[in-house]
Amino acid sequence: MAAQSVPQLRKDFLWGFATASFQIEGSLDTDGRGPSIWDGFSRTPGKTLDGGNGDVATDSYRRYKEDIALLKSYGVKAYRFSLSWSRIIPLGGRNDPVNEQGIAFYSNFIDELIKNGIVPFVTLYHWDLPQGLHDRYGGWLNKEEVVADFVNYSKASFICFERFGDRVKHWLTLNEPWCVAVLGYGRGVFAPGRSSDRNRSTEGDSSTEPWIVAHNLILSHAYAVKLYREEFKAKQGGVIGITLNGDWAIPYDDSPENVAAAQATLDVAIGWYADPIYLGFYPPYMKQMLGERLPEFTAEELAVVKGSSDFYGQNTYTTNLIKAGGNDEFQGNNIQTFTRPDGTQLGTQAHCAWLQTYPEGFRALLNYLWKRYKMPIYVTENGFAVKNENSLPIEKAQNDTDRVEYFEGATESLIKAVTEDGVDIRSYFAWSLLDNFEWADGYDTRFGVTYVDYKTQQRYPKASAKFLVKWFGEHIPSDKVEEPVPTSKEQAVEA
């Protein structure tokens, strides 16, 4: 009996791992880098759960060649990473000096990736706004200034696009603008920590600022894309877009109010950004919910915003059951839960309260995005934090069965969405290459497929890395893993 063939992804499918500059680089005061809003925020007592900050992180600014060697050992096709705005323009502004040492670092980094056969997939902004711009004019709250400064950073005397675009063919403008607006200016749990809650912040207005910030983020993205398309795309041949976060929403039951609540939740979690960019308008539900608090685009702005992404970039982690009711506008005035009506849970609980496994939701979300926005999808983040992994001995943490279960479900959903549902998916980046500084969680929460001993900075591949290496090796035509994945302390990549 002939062996059954394994369903295949496209030959040019990009798979790999993702990171962000502030979460891994460290060396915050090195080689001319200026401070970002996360520098001071993470050093402020009480802002991170374990008191950790980004001063060292995984020391990847100094150890980048070792990290790239690790990527090569995994046989990845691509690596998604972000540039530090304040490493390139320390004060951030369009009239501020650029830092040639920062430019040289990223140029060398890109060269090292390419030398090792790894496609660079670059994010311009992953939450680390230069502190100078926040102090000077309020950062993302100031449309006239921040849009111009972000576009300049993209071009920056021909820095990012001109200096790197000959080698970088995949660009993301912004990572998860929902989190920037809601967590930074609504809930106040991320930098710059603004909120109406005076127990958390001395300044901020959660009823207005997140919607203003979101509007300015969309415009900053759109005008940066306009610049790239007009001045660089034809000669460099790259693609550019934005990556949005958003998780699947299932009605708690079949009642009409909960069915409507699930759609309203998707409108606020996804449509808030995706509808203007791909369809040309804010979701009607948001207009109804916010009234005059929702900013409006001018006709000129909307002409730039609509269609300002060559693809759909998606970060997603979980699925929620949705009940009508509640007063949290950031959740669409609905209630999210993992508990079914019969009392059972959707899936395996992660270390983070907001995350459980539910692979069926991943497939449903991919289909929803494909049908609604009709754009090729790049999955740019997807991952799992094993419960209490940080308290385990290294050898036990390497055997991350819950994370393997998560990726088994995610990859099954991915291949079915492609081969059975006809969804056009171009990439999958697991979060994350390394355990790292997990923002307000500090270092207690670990998302890496590679364990990092923060005392020694030694890297130890986990079982989840082995699973993904094997799976993509089997499901991408002619994709062969040439080197075995180390599995023990003795085989680990040495610091």
pLDDT computed for residue 8 by the predictor: 96
CB 73 within 8 A of CB 493: yes
pLDDT computed for residue 470 by the predictor: 98
pLDDT of residue 59 exceeding 80: yes
Indicate the angle between helix axes 209-231 and 177-185, nearest 10 degrees: 150
pLDDT tens, position by position, 303-317: 999 999 999 999 999
pLDDT computed for residue 156 by the predictor: 54
pLDDT, mean of residues 375-393? 98
pLDDT, mean of residues 42-52? 98
pLDDT tens, position by position, 233-243: 999 999 999 99
Beta bridge partners of 121: 80, 170
Give all domains of the chain, ordered by start, each with its CATH number: 14-475 (3.20.20.80)
pLDDT tens, position by position, 117-163: 999 999 999 999 999 999 999 999 999 999 999 999 987 544 799 89
Radius of gyration of the chain from its Cα atoms, rounded to whole angstroms: 21
pLDDT of residue 3 exceeding 50: no
Q: Model confidence at 1, in pLDDT bands (50, 70, 90)?
A: very low
**Identity of the residue numbered 323:** K
pLDDT computed for residue 115 by the predictor: 98
Q: Sort strands 312-315 and 319-324 into parallel, antiparallel or unpaired.
A: unpaired
pLDDT tens, position by position, 247-282: 999 999 999 999 999 999 999 999 999 999 999 999
pLDDT, mean of residues 23-46? 98
Q: Model confidence at 381, in pLDDT bands (50, 70, 90)?
A: very high
pLDDT, mean of residues 345-351? 98
pLDDT computed for residue 2 by the predictor: 42
- Mean pLDDT for all residues in the chain: 95
- pTM for this entry: 0.95
pLDDT, mean of residues 454-471? 98
pLDDT computed for residue 223 by the predictor: 96
pLDDT computed for residue 155 by the predictor: 75
CB 19 within 8 A of CB 450: no
What's the rounded Cα separation, in Å, for the pair 114 and 91? 30
% of residues, the chain, pLDDT over 90: 94
pLDDT tens, position by position, 176-202: 999 999 999 999 999 999 999 999 999
SS3 of the chain: CCCCCCCCCCCCCEEEEECCHHHHCCCCCCCCCCCEHHHHHHHCCCCCCCCCCCCCCCCCCCCHHHHHHHHHHHCCCEEEEECCHHHHCCCCCCCCCCCHHHHHHHHHHHHHHHHCCCEEEEEEECCCCEHHHHHHHCHHHCHHHHHHHHHHHHHCCCCHHHHHCCCCCEEEEEECHHHHHHHHHCCCCCCCCCCCCCCCCCCCCCCCHHHHHHHHHHHHHHHHHHHHHHHCHHHHCCEEEEEEECCEEEECCCCHHHHHHHHHHHHHHHHHHHHHHHHCCCCHHHHHHHHHHCCCCCHHHHHHHCCCCCCEEEECCCEEEEEECCCCHHHCCEEEECECCCCCECCCECCCCCCECCHHHHHHHHHHHHHHHCCCEEEEECCCCCCCHHHCCHHHHHCCHHHHHHHHHHHHHHHHHHHCCCCCEEEEEEECCCCCCCHHHCCCCCCCCEEEECCCCEEEECHHHHHHHHHHHHHCCCCCCCCCCCCCCCCCECC
pLDDT computed for residue 482 by the predictor: 47
Q: Model confidence at 478, in pLDDT bands (50, 70, 90)?
A: confident
Q: Model confidence at 481, in pLDDT bands (50, 70, 90)?
A: very low
Residues labelled as active-site residues: 381
pLDDT computed for residue 52 by the predictor: 98
Give the number of other CB atoms < 10 A from CB of residue 100: 13
pLDDT of residue 379 exceeding 90: yes
